[in-house]
Every structure is written in C-alpha cells, then in structure tokens.
Amino acid sequence: MNLQEYNKCVDTYADGVYRFILKQIEDKDAAKDIVQDTFEKMWRKVATIENEKAKSYLFTAAYHTMIDYTRKQKKQTDFSEVNFNQHSHNKQYSDLKEVLNQALDQLPEIQKSVILLRDYEGYDYAEIGKITDLSESQVKVYIFRARTFLKNYIGKMEALV
C-alpha cells in the first residue's frame, strides 16, 4: 500500500470504523482515540498491507484495539448467565431506533460485535470470523443468539408502532 492508497483508505473507511466502535463503547472521545490508534497501527504496517485487504485489516485492528481498551477500563462483565426475561419489556413505544439501541446494549460484547459487523457494516460470516478470531460456525451461533435476544427484547412490531 502506498501513501495515496493509505490516504484514500482513511477517507473511505474512517467513518465506518468510528461508527462501529462508537456503537460498542458509546464514548465519543474513546471511540476517536481507538480509531486514531487503529490508523496509527495501519500506518506502521502500511508497507505490508495489501490495498484490497485494507478494510478488513482496519476493522480487525479496531476491534482488537477496542477489546484492549475495554479491558483496561475494566468494563467487562460476565454475561454467561443472562436472564432474558429480566431484560425484556412489554411497554408500547414508537421510537424503534432507541429501543434497538437499548437492546443492543444488553447484549454480551461478542454478540454485539458480530451483530454490528453483520447487520450494520455488511460483512459476511467468514470476514467476521477473521475480524473477531472466531470460526464461521461460532459467528453464526452468536448472531443467532443475538437476534433471538433482540427479538425477545423488542417483542412484536405491532407493540412498538
């Protein structure tokens, strides 16, 4: 990758990486720092990265940088036993985006990551597996579990509208 390709990569993917990280940690300043660190890591390895794989490298590096950040902030919680009934609601509400964001916040970190990569960023299962260091079948399982949780959390569409 040369300088022009790197600059084009920054212009093209910076907003997408920022949105992905911001959805995960919900701290604008930290998200900006993580994105900046990600591009710095990319710059250090610019000679070894192929231009065609730049997007995948960016999201992978951003994901791992975000994981490091959350570990440093000690914000990780044990989600091995989530009581779905405790986190669901049955109120009528019309702001679907807000309800969806609240539901996403209830997901375990890995499920939230894979669902955002799949449904918000449009990655396929194999690419998500590479980014998150999971097998393709693990990615499918996490996405299935996340969608099931979201479905149960949000409830029927008629209740929201």
CA distance linking residue 16 with residue 35, whole number of Å: 10
* In the chain, domain spans: 3-73, 96-160
> Which option is the CATH number for 3-73: 1.10.1740.10, 3.90.45.10, 3.60.10.10, 3.40.50.720?
1.10.1740.10
pLDDT digits (tens, 9 = 90+) for 51-84: 888 899 999 999 999 988 888 876 555 555 556 5
CATH 1.10.10.10 fits 96-160, yes or no: yes
103 pLDDT exceeds 60?
yes
pTM: predicted TM-score of the whole model, two decimal places: 0.57
Instruction: Give yes or no for a contact between 121 and 20, defined as CB atoms under 8 angstroms apart.
Output: yes
Identical fold for domains 3-73 and 96-160, yes or no, is no
Q: What is the DSSP letter of 155?
A: -
**What is the pLDDT at residue 99?**
77
pLDDT digits (tens, 9 = 90+) for 135-148: 999 999 999 999 99
Name the one residue in this structure whose structure tokens are 């375990």.
Answer: 108
Q: What are the C-alpha distances in Å from 43 to residues 47, 48, 109?
A: 8, 10, 27
Instruction: Give yes or no for a contact between 156 and 89, defined as CB atoms under 8 angstroms apart.
Output: no
Gyration radius of the chain over CA positions: 17
pLDDT digits (tens, 9 = 90+) for 105-130: 889 999 999 999 998 888 999 999 99
- Mean pLDDT computed over every residue of the chain: 84
